């Protein structure tokens, strides 16, 4: 029988999953969910919960809070191949999830866990998509959500979602990093909120399923994605460790985390071989990855080590150029997501990726998530065409 615990990767301490803790009592590092005697067997459920035995084997199916997340499309398109210089590039569209971003995959697991632990309030800091997902899943489960939002730093569309889904909005001066500080201070003082940021290890479990789905369909050499708070970077490495250790895959694709130039502390940390991460004041058009002090950097480093991964950075201009190509291909995504493809082009130009490689790029959010910038466009008059 599989048995799940909360485990500290760094000092080995273990805790029961019935405790509401996110960091190790002994050394302060962020905990992982660890499944003893895990088996690769798929359930008859759809999407994320098809992989229940790899993410939360012990939870009772009847208590799962799900809106049908996961099972997103993997697109190939000649315009994207042309733009990136890679023939076999596939775009995994996480904008197709119920609230429009991959955050739903983690949220279905974390909110199910909030219910299992009998919480009636959730809390998160957010650049936007986490709050939209937290608000939706909490309300769907019938509990209250509190979202700490740097209102001047979030897209109106995402704020709209959080308000409409019924979240309690806590507006702060400052940026995402100060919102996250507020979450950490709150949970240090009180234990009545269930935290839905990616320091919650159950969110990481849910986000692993992006990789399971990709690896079921193709054998990529590289998997690229935008990186902010590094929850996905952590989850993707963990997913590949699962598949490798269970004998499901032989070859491990290289993870490629792409940061925005103005918000690239992880790039500096890895490529500069720094002892610890040095926080920066984040600045980028891609608000979902406008994060200067990522909480998951240690777990993310472990993912890179396991996969011989790469961290790259791209400029806002490169992000918007890639977004135009993705949008014009009829696929579409929000600005942060386009960093995944901008990074492919940059690494192809640098000779690190090659035309014949197979690449999967993850589009993290929907095209309607941030419509503050209406693209330049020609307008026609009726008399021009008829």
The residues that touch ligand PLP, with contacts defined as CB under 6 A, are 101, 103, 129, 198, 226-232, 288-289, 334, 336-337, 364-365
Q: How far is the CB of 121 from ligand PLP (least distance, A)?
A: 22
Q: Out of Zn ion, ligand PLP, none, which partner does residue 288 contact, by CB within 5 to 8 A per kind?
A: ligand PLP
184 touches 300 (CB < 8 A)? no
Stretch that binds Zn ion, among 15-23, 24-32, 156-164, 340-348 (CB under 5 A): 24-32
The 25-64 site mask, x for binding Zn ion (CB under 5 A), equals -xx-------------------------------------
Angle between helices 297-307 and 231-245 (to 10 degrees): 40
The residues with which 258 forms a beta bridge, in sequence order, are 226, 312
- The one among 17, 24, 30, 360 contacting Zn ion by CB under 5 A: 24
| 3-class SS of residue 282 | coil
Q: Which is nearer to ligand PLP, 115 or 125 (CB)?
A: 125
DSSP state of 197: S
How far is the C-alpha of 165 from the C-alpha of 16, rounded, in Å?
32
Angle among Cα 361, 362, 363 to the nearest 5 degrees reads: 120
Stretch binding Zn ion (CB under 5 A), from 23-31, 105-113, 114-122, 317-325: 23-31
Q: Which is nearer to Zn ion, 24 or 135 (CB)?
A: 24
Pick between residue 24 and residue 187 the one whose CB is nearest to Zn ion. Answer: 24
- Give whichever of 116 and 289 is closer to ligand PLP, judged by the CB atom: 289
4, 6, 7, 8: which one binds Zn ion (CB under 5 A): 8
Q: Are the beta carbons of 43 and 30 closer than 8 angstroms?
A: no
Six-digit token string for 242: 């699962």
Nearer of residues 57 and 207 to ligand PLP, judged by Cβ: 207
Distance CA 99, CA 369 (A): 10
3-state secondary structure of 377: coil
| Phi, psi (rounded to 5 degrees) for 259 | -110, 160
Site residues, Zn ion (CB under 5 A): 8, 10-11, 13, 24, 26-27
């Amino acid at each position: 029988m599989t048995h799940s615990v909360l485990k500290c990767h760094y000092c080995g301490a273990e805790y029961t999953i019935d405790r509401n803790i996110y960091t190790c009592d002994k050394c302060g590092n962020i905990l992982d969910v660890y499944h003893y005697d895990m088996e690769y067997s798929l359930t008859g459920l759809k999407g994320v919960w098809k992989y229940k035995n790899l993410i939360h084997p012990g939870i009772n199916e009847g208590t799962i809070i799900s809106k049908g997340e996961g099972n997103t499309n993997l697109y190939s398109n000649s315009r994207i191949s042309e733009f990136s210089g890679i023939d076999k590039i596939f775009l995994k569209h996480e904008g197709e999830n119920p609230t429009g971003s991959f955050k739903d995959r983690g949220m279905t697991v974390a909110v199910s866990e909030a219910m299992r632990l009998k919480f009636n309030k959730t809390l998160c800091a957010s650049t936007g998509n986490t709050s939209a997902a937290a608000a939706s899943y909490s309300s769907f489960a019938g509990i209250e959500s509190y979202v700490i939002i740097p209102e001047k730093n979030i897209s109106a569309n995402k704020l709209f979602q959080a308000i409409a889904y019924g979240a309690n909005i806590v507006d702060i001066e400052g940026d995402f990093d100060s919102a996250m500080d507020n979450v950490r201070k709150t949970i240090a003082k009180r234990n009545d909120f269930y935290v839905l940021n990616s320091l919650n290890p159950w969110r990481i479990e849910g986000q692993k399923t992006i990789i399971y789905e990709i690896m079921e369909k193709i054998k990529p050499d590289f998997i690229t994605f935008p990186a902010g708070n590094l929850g996905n970077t952590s989850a993707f490495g963990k997913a590949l460790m699962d598949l490798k250790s269970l004998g499901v895959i032989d070859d491990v694709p290289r993870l490629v985390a792409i940061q925005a130039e103005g918000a690239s502390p992880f790039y500096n940390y890895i490529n500069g071989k720094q002892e610890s991460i040095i926080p920066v004041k984040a600045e980028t058009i891609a608000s979902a990855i406008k994060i200067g002090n990522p909480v998951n950097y240690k777990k993310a480093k472990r993912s890179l080590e396991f996969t011989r991964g790469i961290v790259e950075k791209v400029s806002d201009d490169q992000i918007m150029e890639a977004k135009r190509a993705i949008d014009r291909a009829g696929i579409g995504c929000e600005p942060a997501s386009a960093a995944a493809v901008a990074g492919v082009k940059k690494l192809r130009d640098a000779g690190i990726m090659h035309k014949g490689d197979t690449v999967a790029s993850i589009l993290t959010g929907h095209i309607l998530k941030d419509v503050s910038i209406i693209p330049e466009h020609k307008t026609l008059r009726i008399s021009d065409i008829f």
